[in-house]
Amino acid sequence: MREVVEGVAAGVPFVALAPADPEAPAALVAGWHLMEVPASEQAFADAVPMAGLQAWRVYFGLPLTGARLPEGGPAELFRRASEDAVLNVFQPVTEQAVAEFPAVLAELRDRLPGVDGRLGVFGGSAGSLVALEVLARGAVAVEAAAVVSPVAQLAPVIGRNERLFDVTYPWTPRSREVAGHYDFVRRAGELTTPLLLVAGADDDVAVREPAEALREKLGTELVTVDGMAHEFAPGTPAAKQVDAAFSEWFARRLPA
């Protein structure tokens, strides 16, 4: 039975899964969940446990979600997103998660037994924005990264949401500036860490095409999961394929 540690580090809720050999030195692989299924730290841990890795796998709760929902709960988050998804949700969630990561990382390295210096990061959808921004800023040394249903460019994803929810997003100069910042195809030169991209074959073109463009720019690996759209519920064939891809990648890039 896997050892699970749940808690809060530097104000951030997390779920951590113990390494395959708890007596040996272990890497730390940390990531951020989607805002769609799996939409919590526990759900992401259930969907992509990466069992067998000689690493602590740590899943963080995103700001404005779960235990950190704003006053008013899901209804207030939906109101903010409806008013301005870029400036009220994507930017503050990403910026806060990136800013709090160094302190969280330092605390976890003290609290989790056996953690050595090796670090990997991962993320899904909204959580991929956090992982990619961490890589681009380079404030923390990361040896390997993996993202699934990646938001390689934010602006097309806003277009996806317009189609999905039958709304029109009110672009402003400020929101266009923010979306331009979260264009990792344009900023590919800032991504120097080995990066795995995983995308669903049935996902929206707003996700698939930027992922392919980023793959071409970086010359990295892109795994396409047949039968998967954007979401992947724990226990489904899609989730198992994402888990296998992440597990193989981190085992290769962060060997025991």
Q: Which whole number is the average pLDDT over 223-234?
A: 98
**With bands split at pLDDT 50, 70 and 90, how would you rate the model's confidence at 256?**
confident
With CA atoms as reference, report the closest residue to 98 among 67, 127, 58.
127
Return the pLDDT at 2: 65
Q: Which whole number is the average pLDDT over 179-194?
A: 98
**With bands split at pLDDT 50, 70 and 90, how would you rate the model's confidence at 18?**
very high
Domains of the chain: 4-253 (3.40.50.1820)
Residue 102 predicted with pLDDT over 70:
yes
Return the pLDDT at 98: 98
What is the average pLDDT score of the chain? Answer: 97
Query: What span, in angstroms and rounded, lies between the C-alpha atoms of 109 and 28?
Result: 8
Query: What span, in angstroms and rounded, lies between the C-alpha atoms of 187 and 213?
Result: 12
Model confidence over 44-64: pLDDT tens digits? 999 999 999 999 999 999 999
Cβ-contact 94, 133 below 8 angstroms:
yes
